[in-house]
Structure 1
């Protein structure tokens, strides 16, 4: 029913398996993810000059995906997103057809299989239309420039950018995940669930951040939530985290939470990103410019430099696959040691997949030992 991909994730290998995985298709997806998927389907309908999704045939969806990929004008990430949206929509429509007893289910089964078969590996990994290269690191030098600029500037956007940068370098959340994060007092327990007591009889506890995984679904993310222990942060840094959460809770609203992830990023973070870029441009920064998202890459690099296992890294950053950080995130040589946090044990246990290791070629026998 499911098949493993190279990155260790699991995908439903048939439409029936996808429908059977949940009571209703999309139950495990966040509202913002579903909104984003629907927008992609609307775009397909517009390209096909169809003014109603109820009249959008599954064959048209397949043809649009194939044409987009064959044109090689989109990136691998965009293609994967559009495939995911198409698979979600087809499964949702097919579930309705099953409930109604229609005989058209075979068309959706064929479309689901055809979209799964579309390969995106030959597409470019990044767009050539970007105005500047984006760094997969946020160095101390860049942080220092932000601090110096904030000391002489009254810009609220720059202050917020600096606060976010400092905080996210500790924990490496996806920026949108801060809207579903909370500060808690984590109570430690053993594998049987019994509390761990200290010598004075009190229960061992730690300041911690509980985060709802933005990539959580039936086959992605290390569970719905993850817990990041903040034992290594002193009180001043804990205060940074609390101040940032206070800012997020101030701007958080039902209207904001109904937006797609892309729209949330623009509304919450675009002004901070511009402030960072302005500081770097003013300093005549050479090479790739760090971005808001670079803080997450840097946090992964720090975790590598600290020697965390691949499973700990997956748990810390909300990946189901231990391959994700290895393939897509900051490198160990860009990391700073002594700065990474640790995931709670249950977040590590929730990491379902392991590293896919390519077999090594047979070792040649030394001469004369044949």
Structure 2
């Protein structure tokens, strides 16, 4: 394919892909920027393929080119490279023990938030508006603008077999929500509270695969568990609130890192409720 100048051509899908290739080749885009645009373009490619606008062969060609793009290293790339995208059972146990012995006022909440997020995959900030209704977790999507989410809200049925959440775990999640409500204060914003939680988890110094476990590692581990259980890309996207089925497969924990209990069973599909 011939390189094209974006300002001289109509914004066709091919021109967009070529522009991404050019900007990456001359290292104008950092790796985080490449990941952002690649995810958006892959989502558009999949929609055009489904609609019959482009052929499966062209879609595969564009996807192959996009997935080969690297970009230049950036500061955020170096930072994210140090963060764990999975946490095995032993690492989670060690983190819980560290938080149990911590004197931080948010240690209990940090522990519950991490363990609950491994179960259901919420973004940390999504817990502050989440509500439990008849064993269903109603979540306000953290990224619902510009078509990035599956609507303004998503509903996760905690009784769905693939999640392997029993009554005791549902009660644990319910108590986590209660503790979050109790921790909320007019004197401290949710963002400030999340900063404290991130810091106490980081200070625990627990690693997985040579990388530091963060509060967001729990969401990565949830993704890995769902992949290990055999869910499709779309089912995982619905659970995690992603508009694109490629986001989790590109940026989140891999199925090989799924916990043993999920690898041992290939669960049936998940029916999700998403609404605006």
Q: What is the TM-score normalised by the length of structure 1?
A: 0.50
Corresponding position: 1:147 with 2:96: yes
Give the Cα separation in 1 of the matches to 2:268 and 2:12.
33
Give the Cα separation in 2 of the matches to 1:163 and 1:253.
19
Give the Cα separation in 2 of the matches to 1:163 and 1:333.
25
- Alpha-carbon deviation of 1:345? 3.4
Give the Cα separation in 2 of the matches to 1:238 and 1:125.
41
Q: Secondary structure at the match of 2:76?
A: coil
Report the count of equivalent residues. 216
Give the Cα separation in 2 of the matches to 1:131 and 1:337.
26
Corresponding position: 1:173 with 2:130: no
**Deviations 1:149-173 (Å, cap 9, x if unpaired)?**
3444444332222111110100111
Give the Cα separation in 2 of the matches to 1:224 and 1:305.
28
Structure 1 residues 159, 248: closer, same or farther in 2, change over 3 A?
A: closer
- Alpha-carbon deviation of 1:71? 6.9
Partner of 2:204: 279
- Alpha-carbon deviation of 1:322? 0.6
- Alpha-carbon deviation of 1:303? 0.3
Corresponding position: 1:328 with 2:255: no
Matches for 1:290-309 after TM superposition, within 5 Å: 290-309=213-232
Structure 1 residues 323, 255: closer, same or farther in 2, change over 3 A?
A: farther
Partner of 1:246: 178
Q: Secondary structure at the match of 1:296?
A: helix
Stretch of structure 1 that moved more, 163-172 or 242-251 = 242-251
- Alpha-carbon deviation of 1:72? 6.0
Matches for 1:136-285 after TM superposition, within 5 Å: 136-185=85-134, 207-231=135-159, 232-252=164-184, 264-265=190-191, 267-280=192-205
Partner of 2:272: 345
Partner of 1:124: 73
Stretch of structure 1 that moved more, 268-277 or 148-157 = 148-157
- Larger radius of gyration, structure 1 or 2? 1
Q: Is the 8 A contact 2:225 2:255 kept in 1?
A: yes
Give the Cα separation in 2 of the matches to 1:249 and 1:229.
22
Stretch of structure 1 that moved more, 326-335 or 146-155 = 146-155
Partner of 2:41: none
Q: Is the 8 A contact 1:170 1:341 kept in 2?
A: no
Q: Secondary structure at the match of 1:209?
A: strand
Q: Is the 8 A contact 1:76 1:123 kept in 2?
A: no
- Alpha-carbon deviation of 1:320? 0.8
Q: Secondary structure at the match of 1:280?
A: coil
Q: Is the 8 A contact 2:239 2:272 kept in 1?
A: no
- Alpha-carbon deviation of 1:148? 2.6
**Deviations 1:73-112 (Å, cap 9, x if unpaired)?**
79428987xxxxxxxxxxxxxxxxxxxxxxxxxxxxxxxx
Q: Is the 8 A contact 2:144 2:150 kept in 1?
A: yes
Q: Structure 2 unaligned segments of length 5 or more: list them.
A: 1-10, 15-22, 38-68
Q: What is the TM-score normalised by the length of structure 2?
A: 0.65
- Alpha-carbon deviation of 1:141? 1.7
Give the Cα separation in 1 of the matches to 2:32 and 2:80.
16
Normalized per residue, the structure richer in helix is 2
**Deviations 1:282-338 (Å, cap 9, x if unpaired)?**
xx8771011111111100000000011111101000011111111111101011254
Q: Is the 8 A contact 1:165 1:295 kept in 2?
A: yes
